[in-house]
Amino acid sequence: MRLRIDFGYDGTDFSGWAMQPGRRTVEQVLSEGLGTILRSDPPKLTVAGRTDAGVHARGAVCHVDVDDALYAALPGRSTRSPREAAVSRLGGVLPGDVVVHRVTIAPGGFDARFSAMSRRYSYRLVDEPATLDPLRRRDTVVVRGPLDVEAMDAAARKLLGLKDFAAFCKKREGATTVRTLLDYRWHRDADGVLIGTVLADAFCHSMVRSLVGAVVPVGLGRHTEQWPAEVLTAGRRDPGVTVMAPHGLCLEEVSYPPDEELATRAEASRAVRTLPVD
């Protein structure tokens, strides 16, 4: 039986999502929690987005394949459904910085990673240190110097579309850096915090933090609104682009197609992305 798990976490005290020997990771904690309530070995999890150390998530999704009988046994003597019991019992064994929102039986063809249509991230910046809410210090990055949010927004929108984002990714052997950036925008909220929204079909390693690092110099007046697009076109890492601190980043949402399209979407996502030939 395949289960879909919707969850969130404060990434401050984690070494990212992926299991690492001797380090506390979200995957390790969640897998061990599932093993505890199922009375089995910690199961293997497949996640929609692998976050780096310090990055947070509100809308993370993963799937896990479990034995039907172990799932059915979760309510014990209670009248709860297995999915209700799963959420309740995980809440009792997981640490406070991981919260499981929902556990559901996944529809046929569902793959948390490959069936996803898009991932949406947010990034929080403050450009006046004295206005930083100390209760948000773990998810908000301070930039010293006034930022022109309109210029940042204009620069961000010039990066949209199906493109090779090699200039904003840490390359991995055999992996493509072609992605479709569906939305990238900036605004300043009522408290003066700059909020960046980044939406794409998928992201490569360090892409979101590099995209933020490409428009901050524009906001500071050090580069024109065209500069990030010029870096993208050049296709190589630019020393002027800082990979921003991880704690300002949060995975907000993973979206999926209708159930009948999940398997088709997963198959298409596994194909290597390439740019169209003129």
- Of 16, 115, 6, give the one whose Cα is nearest residue 58: 6
- Has 52 been annotated as catalytic? yes
The 3-class secondary structure across the chain, one letter per residue, is: CEEEEEEEECHHHCCCCCCCCCCCCHHHHHHHHHHHHHCCCCCCEEECCCCCCCCEEEEEEEEEECCHHHHHCCCCCCCCCHHHHHHHHHHHHCCCCEEEEEEEECCCCCCCCCCCCEEEEEEEEECCHHHCCHHHCCCCEECCCCCCHHHHHHHHHCCCEEEECHHHCCCCCCCCCEEEEEEEEEEECCCCCEEEEEEECCCCCCHHHHHHHHHHHHHCCCCCCCHHHHHHHHCCCCCCCCCCCHHHEEEEEEECCCHHHHHHHHHHHHCCCCCCCC
Q: Which of 52, 111, 127, 153 is catalytic?
A: 52
Q: What residues act catalytically? A: 52
